[in-house]
A = this chain, B = another copy of it.
Amino acid sequence: MVSSYGIGQFHIGRLKKGEDLLRGLTEVVEKKNVRMGVLFAIGALSSCTFAYYDQVKKEYRERFLEKRVEILSLIGNVSLREGKPFIHAHILIGDESGIWGGHLLEGSKVFALEYHIVELVGSPLVRVFDPETGLFLWNF
């Protein structure tokens, strides 16, 4: 299951202190009309909301961390879900006391954030519900 794309523009920028991380990135993608892409980011948060997927119960277990942390890694992609650009990203955060990570959710507050979004040229992948995993996966 593979689809091949040409490479369009690279969108680079930052979010402001106090912005919501996932909403902020989604606004960039909407503004630039990226419907298929790959994204990376580093920065720092003053709080973070993420989730682990329970593969047996087929549901996300959410976690909120009220901590000032570095964003050590954020890797994700943009594709279509219900006709709109949708970001799926996994994040790793940490401070002196530990490292945490998971599936990025809304509810993470930016301290500083530098993002790098690769826009891809070609027919966007579309997420549909996959009963086997309980996830919205790309429809090939």
Give A contacts to B, CB under 8 Å: 1-7, 9-17, 28, 31-32, 36, 38, 40-42, 44, 46, 52-56, 61, 63, 68, 70-77, 88-92, 94-96, 99-103, 111-112, 114, 116, 118, 120, 125, 132-133, 135, 137-138, 140
Smallest beta-carbon distance A8→chain B, Å: 8
Q: Across chains A and B, which 4 residue pairs bring their CB atoms closest together, nearest first?
A: A2-B13, A72-B101, A42-B90, A5-B10
Across the interface, A5 reaches (CB within 8 A) one of B12, B36, B91, B120, namely: B12
CA distance A68 to B57 in the complex (A): 12
Contact of A114 among B14, B46, B138 (CB under 8 A): B138
Quick one: closest B residue to A74, CB to CB? B75
Distance (whole angstroms) from the CB of A109 to the closest CB of chain B: 11
CB pairs A–B below 8 angstroms (6 shown): A2-B13, A4-B11, A72-B73, A73-B90, A77-B116, A112-B135
CA distance in complex: A41, B76 (Å): 8
